[in-house]
Structure 1
Amino acid sequence: MTRKVPYQKSYDFVNKINSTLSIILILTTTISIAILVLDKLETPHKFTHILNVVLVILSVSYFILEILQRHLFHEAEFERKNDFIDNGLKLKLSEENSSGYFNNDDLKKGVYKLGVNCFESSFFTKSITKKMLKKHLIQAGIIFLLIFTLIFTVANNLLIQILLLALPYSILNDTLKLYRLYKNTDTVFKHFTYIFNTSKKGKLDYLILNNIINYEKSLSRAAILLDNKIFKKMNNDLSIKWNELKEKHKI
C-alpha cells in the first residue's frame, strides 16, 4: 500500500523552522567567535559594533521563531492525534486520513486496535529516539568542548559569553528532552507488552486507554520532532520487527 500522511506537510514546515533555528544558533556562535578574534586583533570598533548589532537581531529572531515553532508543532500534533483516533475508532475527526502509516489494517476498529496502533507507535518512537540520542550526545560533546574552551580562554566580554552559552544550552536541553522521551516511550512500550500478554479482557480497554494517555502526554511534554532521515532508514527493519512482535504477542 502507498504510504500517505496528510499532516506530514505540517511537520515538514516545522522541520524547516527547526533547521532555521539551528542555522541561527551556529551563526550567533560563529559571529561571537569572530568578535573575540577581532577584539584580539584590535579591529576598528565600528566593524565590531556592526557584528554586535547582528548578534542582537539573530537573538531576537531566534526567540520569535522558537515561539512560532512550538505553536505549529502542537498544531501538527493535534492533526496526528485526530488521524490516530480515526484509524483506531469509527470516527471522522480529520478532513483527510492517512493510509499505509499503521500496519494493523487487519484489525477491527475499536479500543483494541487503537491500543495496537499506539503499541506500534511506541515501538517506533522508542527505537528512533534511541538512535537519535546517540547522535545528539556526540554532537553535544564536541560543541561543549569547543564553546567552553573559548569561554574560559579568550572570551572576556559578558555578552559574548552569554551568547556563546546559547548553543550548548539549547543542545543540552534538546538532548535531555530526547532522553526523557526515549525513556517514557520505552516504558509505554513495556507496559503494552504486559497489557497484551497478561491482562484479562474485562480490564483490557481501561489499561489500553491509560497507556495511550501516557504515550500522548510524553509526546506533548517533549515537543520533539523525530528525525525523518533516521525514520526512513529504519522504517523497513522496524516494520518487519513489528510484525514479528504482533505474531509473538498473538495480536
Structure 2
Amino acid sequence: MSEYYNPAKESLVVAKKIDSISFFILLISTILTATNFIVSKYFTDLKYWAEIMSNANTVVIILYAILKFGISYIIFNSSFQKRADFIDNSFETNYSTQRSNRYYNNSEVELGILRMGANSFESCFFTYNLAIKSIKEKWIVNLIIVIIIISLAVQGYNSVLSMILQLALPLILISEAINYSIFCLRMKNILDNFCRVYNDLIDEDDKRKKEAEVILNVLNYETTKSTFNLLIKEKTYNKYNPELSASWENLKVQYKLKEV
C-alpha cells in the first residue's frame, strides 16, 4: 500500500514544533513570575535579581507572542496548499504541484461537488472530534497558569511596561481557551449540517438540488478553519486517528456515501 502523504504536513510539523517551544516558554514565564515573587517578598536583599527576572520575563512574554504569530502565519500559508489539493481530489484537477495520498478516503464518491462535500465532511468530522478531545486539557493548563500569574501579581513590577506585558499574558491564555471552545462549537454545528445534508441525499433522486447546500457547508468549514488557525497536537492525532478512521468508514456506510 502506498504511503500516506499530505502536502501541508511538513509545514504543520514545523508549526507544531514551534507550538511545543512556545508552551515551554510559557512555563519559563510562569517559573520566572513565581521566582520573582518569592525573591521580592522573602529575600529583599536580592531585589536586584528580582528586577532582572522581571525584565527577563518581559522578554520571554514578547518571544511567546512572536512565536504564536509565527504559528498562525505558517498555518495560514499552508492552507493554500491544502485547499488546492482538496479541489484536485474533488474534481480531478491539477492546481496542486504535490497531491495528497490516502489523506481523503472518499474515492468511491463520484467526482464533483458531492465528492468535495464528502471530503469536507470527513475533514470536519476529524477536526471536531480531535479538537473536542483536547479542550479539557487546554482549559486546565491555561487556567492553572493564569491563576498562578494573577495570584502573584500582588508583588508589584519594576516598570509600567513589565506590568502591562506580564498581566497581558493571562488575558492571552484565557482568550486562547475561549477561542478553542468557540471553534469546537462551530465545528459541531458544521458537522451536524453535513450529517443533515447527506442524510437528505440518501433518498434524493435529483442530488443536484443539494449541491448549493453542500458548497455552503464546505465554505463554512474552510472559513472557520482559516479564522481560528488552531493546531491539533501530533500525539492527540496519533492516539485517536485509528478510532476515528474506523468511525468515518461506518459513517460512509450510514450515509451511503459510497452510493453518492
> Does the pair score TM above 0.5?
yes
Contact 1:180–1:222 (CA<8 Å) still a contact in 2? no
Alpha-carbon distance, 1:161 to partner: 5.3
2:99 maps to 97
Query: Does 2:156 align with 1:156?
Result: yes
List alignment gaps of at least 5 residues for structure 1.
none
Distance 1:62 1:189 in 2: 33
Distance 2:30 2:147 in 1: 13
Alpha-carbon distance, 1:159 to partner: 5.9
1:51 maps to 53
1:67 maps to 69
Contact 1:195–1:204 (CA<8 Å) still a contact in 2? yes
Deviates more, 1:98-107 or 1:56-65: 56-65
**Number of equivalences:** 249
* Cα deviations by residue, 1:157-201 (Å, 9 ceiling, x for unpaired): 366654553443233222111111111111111111111122552
* Cα deviations by residue, 1:60-111 (Å, 9 ceiling, x for unpaired): 3233333322221201122211111111112212111111111112223211
Q: CA, structure 1 residues 135+247, in 2 after alignment: closer, same or farther (shift >3 Å)? A: same
1:5 maps to 6
Q: 89, 110, 113: which is aligned to 1:111?
A: 113
Distance 1:173 1:246 in 2: 36
Alpha-carbon distance, 1:116 to partner: 0.4
Provide the TM-score with structure 1 as the length reference: 0.90
Q: 231, 234, 243: which is aligned to 1:237?
A: 243
Distance 1:99 1:20 in 2: 30
1:82-231 correspondence to structure 2 within 5 Å: 82-151=84-153, 154-157=154-157, 162-198=164-200, 200=204, 201-231=207-237
Alpha-carbon distance, 1:235 to partner: 0.8
Alpha-carbon distance, 1:115 to partner: 0.4
Alpha-carbon distance, 1:146 to partner: 2.8
Contact 1:25–1:166 (CA<8 Å) still a contact in 2? no
Distance 2:58 2:164 in 1: 12
Q: CA, structure 1 residues 22+155, in 2 after alignment: closer, same or farther (shift >3 Å)? A: same
Alpha-carbon distance, 1:138 to partner: 2.3
User: Which AA in structure 1 matches 2:235?
Assistant: K
Distance 2:147 2:172 in 1: 15
Provide the TM-score with structure 2 as the length reference: 0.87
Percent of aligned positions that are identical: 27
User: Which AA in structure 1 matches 2:221?
Assistant: Y
